[in-house]
Amino acid sequence: MRLFGRAKQKDDMIEQIKILLDRFEFADLLNLCTAVIGRKLGSNEKERLERIEVLDFIWENYHKGSVTFSQIKDFAIRQGIIPQTFFD
């Protein structure tokens, strides 16, 4: 029973992250990568990134444990992307 509860909690977290990342503009996603993950994307003039590529990078880092939902949420609140009460 405990295993299923944990899987459901993980699914809910993923859905919340999807909802949250949908609120981000492209520039916000790039800033998230720099400020929270610690990697600047698209700094090379020849390298033009698409939104999906940046989202893939964020998801990879989430699955590796390099970034958490709380970090993404806190960043979004600090940047004014969402209000403090967004997930209440």
* pLDDT, one tens digit for every residue, the chain (88 residues): 455 566 666 778 899 999 999 999 999 999 999 999 999 887 665 567 899 999 999 999 999 999 999 999 999 999 999 999 998 8
Residue 72 belongs to what domain range?
2-78
Any domain includes 72: yes
pLDDT of the residue at 1: 46
Residue 85 lies in a domain: no
pLDDT reported for residue 49: 84
Q: Give the chain's domain count.
A: 1
11 is written with which tokens? Answer: 């699914």
The verdict on residue 86 lying in a domain is no
Burial of 69 (0-12, 13-18, 19+ CB in 10 A): middle
Residue 41: the pLDDT is 83
Q: Model's pTM, two decimal places? A: 0.82
State the angle between helix axes of 69-78 and 2-22 in degrees (0 to 180), rounded to the nearest 10.
30
Q: Is residue 73 within 8 Å of residue 21, measured between CB atoms?
A: no
Residue 8 lies in a domain: yes
